[in-house]
Amino acid sequence: MLPPLPDILSTLRVVSLPMTHRFRGIDVREVALFEGPAGWTEFSPFVEYDTAEASAWLTAALDFGWQQTPAIFRSSIRVNATMPVVDSSRVPEVLARFPGCRTVKIKVADPGQGLTDDVARVAAVRKYVGPEGRIRVDANGLWTVDEAERAIHALAEFDLEYVEQPCETVEELADIRSRVAYMGVPIAADESVRKAEDPARVARVGAADLLVVKAQPLGGIRRALDVIEEAGLPVVVSSALETSVGISMGAYLGAAIDTLPYDCGLATVSLLTSDITAEPLLPHAGTIDVRRVVPDPELLDRFAAEPAREAWWRGRIVDSYRFLDDALAAQRPSE
């Protein structure tokens, strides 16, 4: 059952947070926040997502705000630093925002740059973290299989922990995984999990060595745990560029997984110039705490979105809510 729509909208706050560096093509992150019986929750699908895709994010927000979280195995989560597409000279500046993180995820395959730029950025990160640091790269599915093979060959000398979503389709992931298997470079699936109608398919067809899972796109903590169980692969819990409220949801997901071998991508509040809480979930000694987050009223006011943008997000919640309500109605047995 869905909570009443007026209950959701009565506490709605929409904020617009500037970012430290351009990331995922945006300079400002807009999110919607509201409070449920279990605490504050976040609804923040990216603006280009349609109602069907956004409805999974609303499911997650309602689950986190209206239901108690599952039992947890840990009170803190080891996290990785995230390196946006910046010039290699700026690597130390970015990584200084992630104190104690031993792992760095580096964005590559940006349309505005080439492989030479990627190699330079990865080399700068390796120099910064030293031989003991862990490096993973994320192409967001932007390489063809041949481009991915060439890039992985070029980057392999930097001792990659894994390559995340090198190609777009599950079939392409399976192909590149077979091509680079002899190199010992694991392939991780992200978009092929969170944007798929069948998130576990990538595991069944042998297209990945591990999964990157995100609570909001998968419909919440419980649905993500179901995907993880069905897939049977190691996982990295990651974020979707959220405020600390959304990161908290991801932290509880990571804490509810019994075995968590990889550092998680839950330190992305460091990519925002500010947050909506006086106690943000920023990394300390390479970890973040597993806890609920309460927004600060003064910060909510300071970063409040323009009225037109708040109205847009309100309408988006209404549309996503109706989509979910219609889906639930279709599942009910007819009288």
pLDDT digits (tens, 9 = 90+) for 136-181: 999 999 999 999 999 999 999 999 999 999 999 999 999 999 999 9
190 is in an annotated binding site: yes
Per the CB < 8 A criterion, the answer to whether 170 and 201 are in contact is yes
Domain boundaries, the chain: 5-68+298-331, 76-296
Identify the CATH assignment for 76-296 out of 3.40.640.10, 3.20.20.120, 2.40.50.140, 3.90.180.10. Answer: 3.20.20.120
110 is in an annotated binding site: no
pLDDT at 7: 97
- Average pLDDT over the chain reads 95
Strands 160-164 and 103-107: unpaired
Considering only CA atoms, which of 185, 186, 193 is closest in space to residue 169?
193
pLDDT at 108: 97
Q: Name the β-bridge partners of 36.
A: 39
Intrachain domains 5-68+298-331 and 76-296 with the same fold: no
Sign for the pseudo-dihedral over CA of 256, 29, 27, 302: negative
Model confidence at 334, pLDDT cuts 50, 70, 90, reads low
pLDDT at 244: 98
Model confidence at 332, pLDDT cuts 50, 70, 90, reads confident
Per the CB < 8 A criterion, the answer to whether 288 and 247 are in contact is yes
Choice among 105, 107, 127, 195 that is catalytic:
107
Is the pLDDT assigned to residue 335 strictly greater than 60? Answer: no
Per the CB < 8 A criterion, the answer to whether 130 and 172 are in contact is no
Query: Quick check: is 195 catalytic?
Result: no
Is the pLDDT assigned to residue 24 strictly greater than 70? Answer: yes
Per the CB < 8 A criterion, the answer to whether 251 and 77 are in contact is yes
Is the pLDDT assigned to residue 46 strictly greater than 70? Answer: yes
Q: With a threshold of 0.85, does the pTM exceed it?
A: yes
Which residues lie below 8 Å from residue 281, measured CB to CB, with a gap of 6+? Answer: 244, 247, 248, 251, 266, 269, 288, 289, 291, 293
pLDDT digits 0-9 by tens, 267-284: 999 999 999 999 999 999
pLDDT digits 0-9 by tens, 50-97: 999 999 999 999 999 999 999 999 999 999 999 999 999 999 999 999
Average pLDDT, integer, range 253-260: 97
Is the pLDDT assigned to residue 134 strictly greater than 60? Answer: yes
Is the pLDDT assigned to residue 183 strictly greater than 60? Answer: yes
The answer as to CATH 3.30.390.10 being correct for domain 5-68+298-331 is yes
| Stronger pLDDT, 199 or 163, i.e. the higher one | 163
pLDDT at 269: 95
Choice among 105, 127, 195, 214 that is catalytic:
214
Angle made by CA atoms 125, 106, 156, in degrees to the nearest 5? 75
229 is in an annotated binding site: no
